[in-house]
Amino acid sequence: MWFFKKRKFIDLEKNDKKIIYNNEDFIKISQKIYDFCYPNVLEESQREILTDSEITNPTNSGTKKYNNSIFQKLDLNLQKEVYDLAESELLISTAAKYLNVFPILDKLDLYHNIPRDFEDVRGAQLWHKDDFGYKSLDLFIAISDINENNGPLKVLEKLNKYGVFFKSDQENKKKNTMGERGKISNDYFENLKNNKDYKIISLKGKKGTALFIDSFTSYHRGGHCSKEDRLMLRFSYQTPDAVRVKPNRTFLLITFLFFEYFFVLMIFLFFEYFFVLMTFLFFLYFLTMILLSIIYLKSFFQL
């Protein structure tokens, strides 16, 4: 009965992105993760990035690899704290308010980006949208301090009122390979940043600074580190129709929603049919009284 109770949520102010400063929960978890990762986990991750030999993504593997997923390197207690935050009432309510359905936490990861071949701008370092569905809500939390030297996440500030149906004519249509399709040169939006319709906001600041973004509707880019490493935590909330949501998760959500609303449905039907039943009984009572009155009057006049 999630939507039948008033719950706290973070107001996105009728937009599909918002920067969050000074949230105590975000600051606390970011400091814990950073303290755990620095320096040993980050050094291990950097070695893995630089020695990667498996070509899985033309723009982010082998000698082109520039980031690594390191969430599984956290200890289990810290992983649980991260999951507890991602599944907290505040964040679930925020996602539900934006998506208008109970959300699926489809992705939870911790990314480590390093400077590598800075002139070769590629993959997620270019402007793009994530084409996995109709609507999503991602939360990116800075685990390390972020500035222009370690690839801040950037996004067009203005609400895209056409959502996934708007496509820039600058998107790369010549290549359809992973990491290349649909990308836009960084120079394009940067050259238009003085135009209010193309104003850019960046996730920069101390650990715990965060950004909500609908990655399906908003053009964004990030992770293009020039001099320093970047650590970023990501929660991705999806609707059941998103193509990267695994079928078993959709089944579990439908099952959950069935039991969640079954009780409410039974109450609704009871009162709905109770009203109908009472109306019918009142009608019978009224009809009976009329018939009895007629019988009484007939008998009265026959006397």
Q: What is the CATH number of the domain that holds 31?
A: 2.60.120.620
CA 59 → CA 64, 126, 183, distances in Å? 6, 11, 12
Q: Which residues lie across from 146 on neighbouring strands?
A: 205
Contacts of 158 (CB under 8 A, 6+ apart): 196, 197, 198, 199
Of the listed ranges 102-106, 165-169, 268-272, 289-293, the one predicted with least confidence: 268-272
Contact 64, 58 (CB under 8 A): yes
If you average pLDDT over residues 172-197, what whole number do you get? 86
Three-state secondary structure of the chain: CHHHCCCCCCCCCCCCEEEECCCHHHHHHHHHHHHHHCCHHHHHHHHHHHCCCCCCCCCCCHHHCCEEECHHHCCHHHHHHHHHHHCCHHHHHHHHHHHCCCCEEEEEEEEEECCCCCCCCCHHHCEECCCCCCCEEEEEEECCCECCCECCEEEECCCCCCHHHCCCCCCCCCCCCCCCCCCECHHHHHCCCCCHHHCEEEECECCCCEEEECCCCCCEECCCECCCCEEEEEEEEECCCCCCCCHHHHHHHHHHHHHHHHHHHHHHHHHHHHHHHHHHHHHHHHHHHHHHHHHHHHHHHHC
Residues in the chain: 303
Q: Is residue 176 part of a domain?
A: yes
Specify whether 87 is located in the same domain as 202. Answer: yes
Q: Is residue 251 part of a domain?
A: no
Q: What is the pLDDT of residue 272?
A: 66
Specify whether 190 is located in the same domain as 298. Answer: no
Q: What is the pLDDT of residue 261?
A: 54
Instruction: Quote the domain boundaries for residue 66.
Output: 2-245
Specify whether 204 is located in the same domain as 228. Answer: yes
Specify whether 181 is located in the same domain as 290. Answer: no
Specify whether 225 is located in the same domain as 294. Answer: no
From the list 18, 17, 20, the residue with the least C-alpha distance to 205 is 20
Specify whether 292 is located in the same domain as 209. Answer: no
If you average pLDDT over residues 56-61, what whole number do you get? 92
Q: What is the pLDDT of residue 264?
A: 57
Of the listed ranges 195-199, 219-223, 277-281, the one predicted with least confidence: 277-281
Q: Is residue 139 part of a domain?
A: yes
If you average pLDDT over residues 54-72, what whole number do you get? 94
Q: Is residue 240 part of a domain?
A: yes
Specify whether 165 is located in the same domain as 51. Answer: yes
From the list 59, 67, 66, 135, the residue with the least C-alpha distance to 103 is 135
Q: Is residue 185 part of a domain?
A: yes
Specify whether 179 is located in the same domain as 82. Answer: yes
Q: What is the pLDDT of residue 65?
A: 97
Q: What is the pLDDT of residue 290?
A: 79
Of the listed ranges 91-105, 200-214, 248-262, 267-281, the one predicted with least confidence: 248-262
Look at 267 and 8; give whichever has higher pLDDT: 8
Of the listed ranges 78-92, 94-108, 250-264, 269-283, the one predicted with least confidence: 250-264
Specify whether 12 is located in the same domain as 155. Answer: yes
As a whole number, the mean pLDDT across the chain is: 88
What's the CA gap between 184 and 128, in Å, rounded?
6
| pTM listed for this prediction | 0.81
Q: What is the pLDDT of residue 85?
A: 98
pLDDT range class, residue 303, cuts 50, 70, 90: very low
Domains held by the chain: number = 2
Q: Is residue 254 part of a domain?
A: no
Specify whether 276 is located in the same domain as 181. Answer: no
pLDDT tens track for 114-166: 999 999 999 999 999 998 888 999 999 999 999 999 999 999 999 998 889 88
pLDDT range class, residue 279, cuts 50, 70, 90: confident
Specify whether 158 is located in the same domain as 287. Answer: no
